[in-house]
Chain A
């Protein structure tokens, strides 16, 4: 067992930070054991404080804080491991962080999601197709929150989704069979998304469009700001 565990440290990632009062930072942390926590880092933005440098997104940290009330105070922070995101992977990372902040309620532990977050960052660093990686994380996040979209059964009848069928997606119901039209989703895409085996560009585009519907419904209207960052990004495989 690593040394830091005994001292009341927890693993976590900074997902967002902003300045608070004169020299402090308010830090939103996605932690393994307590989910999203907002911490007050006192004096962290003062000149040469080492905390400000450490409290950056996309770095696994060991954090210790005091107090359980409205605003626990960060006591200590130690770096564990940095995910060196570069280029469009940074934009993807900011998108993941916005998803977490917007969708995860504070204080709910989601250890599986926490593990997946680190793995997702690793896969973004490794490069290769970013889109299937993002879809996988979106699906897991929705599953953990209980918003998982049914992908293998039709919404109302419960009949299995057929690979060569066409479906409309209704957020409250799920896939509903329809006649083929440009906005319909192919059954094969739903099944591939469910199996996390999205193949060609067409499937990736359809899966993205569908997840937008589902996430948009979960968010309740206000769109994600980080989508605007992808205007000029050309994903591989598209």
Chain B
């Protein structure tokens, strides 16, 4: 059976999702058309609405429907602390598990020169303007502990130093419940070198 044009277009369109290859896309398309047409309509509507109405927050660049995201619009939050993360999902993770009540700045990526991603692509001019304004007392760098995440943290850390803002980096080391024997060497070395007084 050859997929008709519209079916082929749908399968091709589903492949834009991460982790979805031709086989999975075909399975998804058949499922939506044969078993769950209501769900398919709801999905189409939700996608359309999201594309039209969700943009980047003017303050922190996270995804939001209004001009400002909920966190940036909340006057009770502490503007003197600004936490830099790579992705919007990480703001939720940090908030839920740490009780952090400061503000966020979302890079939507990380510095990676070989992928053509430099400071401008990450909206760091906006962050620069925030640091310049003088309201931020502490800049918390919560980028990932990959090479690119470290490079990003260092770049932004130097930027903070330039504007005389204190920059801190989240600690990393042995995970909770982790056994030293099975922790990889780099992490263990980092944890060992970063030991603290009891």
Segment of B32-40, B72-80, B93-101, B152-160 engaged in the interface with chain A: B152-160
Asked whether any CB of chain B lies closer than 8 Å to the CB of A233, the reply is yes
Asked whether any CB of chain A lies closer than 8 Å to the CB of B161, the reply is yes
Segment of B4-12, B49-57, B111-119, B172-180 engaged in the interface with chain A: B111-119
From DSSP, what is the main secondary structure of chain B's interface residues? helix
| A84-B189 contact given A18-B115, A21-B21, A225-B118, CB 8 Å threshold | yes
- CB-contacts of A187-220 with B (<8 A): none
Contacts of B20 in A (CB 8 A): 22
- CB-contacts of B178-198 with A (<8 A): 184-186, 189
Contacts of A145 in B (CB 8 A): none
Docked pose: A27 CA to B24 CA in angstroms: 25
Asked whether any CB of chain A lies closer than 8 Å to the CB of B136, the reply is no
From DSSP, what is the main secondary structure of chain A's interface residues? mixed
Min C-beta distance of B14 to chain A, whole Å? 13
Asked whether any CB of chain B lies closer than 8 Å to the CB of A53, the reply is yes
Structural contact, B118 and A229, CB atoms closer than 8 A: yes
Docked pose: A232 CA to B162 CA in angstroms: 7
A contact residues, total (Cβ < 8 Å): 34
Interchain CB contact (< 8 A) of A229 among B19, B151, B161: B151
| A226-B150 contact given A22-B20, A82-B186, A232-B161, CB 8 Å threshold | no
Asked whether any CB of chain B lies closer than 8 Å to the CB of A231, the reply is yes
Structural contact, A225 and B113, CB atoms closer than 8 A: yes
Min C-beta distance of A196 to chain B, whole Å? 26
Min C-beta distance of A206 to chain B, whole Å? 24
Contacts of B155 in A (CB 8 A): 91, 229, 231-232
Contacts of A53 in B (CB 8 A): 184
B contact residues, total (Cβ < 8 Å): 27
Structural contact, A232 and B158, CB atoms closer than 8 A: yes
Docked pose: A233 CA to B159 CA in angstroms: 8
- B116 nearest in chain A by CB position: A225
Asked whether any CB of chain B lies closer than 8 Å to the CB of A97, the reply is yes
Asked whether any CB of chain B lies closer than 8 Å to the CB of A86, the reply is yes
Determine which residue in B21, B113, B154, B184 has the highest number of CB atoms from chain A within 10 A of its CB, and name it.
B113
Contacts of B146 in A (CB 8 A): 56
Asked whether any CB of chain B lies closer than 8 Å to the CB of A58, the reply is yes
Asked whether any CB of chain A lies closer than 8 Å to the CB of B42, the reply is no
Asked whether any CB of chain A lies closer than 8 Å to the CB of B147, the reply is yes
Interchain CB contact (< 8 A) of B154 among A23, A56, A91, A224: A91
Structural contact, A231 and B147, CB atoms closer than 8 A: no
Structural contact, B147 and A84, CB atoms closer than 8 A: no
- CB-contacts of B111-163 with A (<8 A): 111, 113-120, 146-147, 150-151, 154-155, 158-159, 161-162
- CB-contacts of A25-48 with B (<8 A): none
**21 intermolecular pairs with C-beta atoms under 8 Å apart:** A15-B114, A18-B115, A21-B21, A23-B19, A79-B185, A82-B185, A84-B189, A85-B147, A90-B151, A90-B154, A91-B154, A91-B155, A225-B113, A225-B114, A225-B116, A225-B117, A226-B114, A228-B118, A229-B151, A233-B158, A234-B158
Q: Which residues of B contact A (CB under 8 A)?
A: 19-21, 24, 111, 113-120, 146-147, 150-151, 154-155, 158-159, 161-162, 184-186, 189
Q: A94-B111, A234-B158 are known contacts; what are 15 more A-B pairs with Cβ within 8 Å?
A: A22-B19, A53-B184, A58-B147, A82-B185, A88-B154, A90-B147, A94-B151, A224-B113, A225-B113, A225-B116, A225-B117, A225-B118, A232-B155, A232-B161, A233-B158
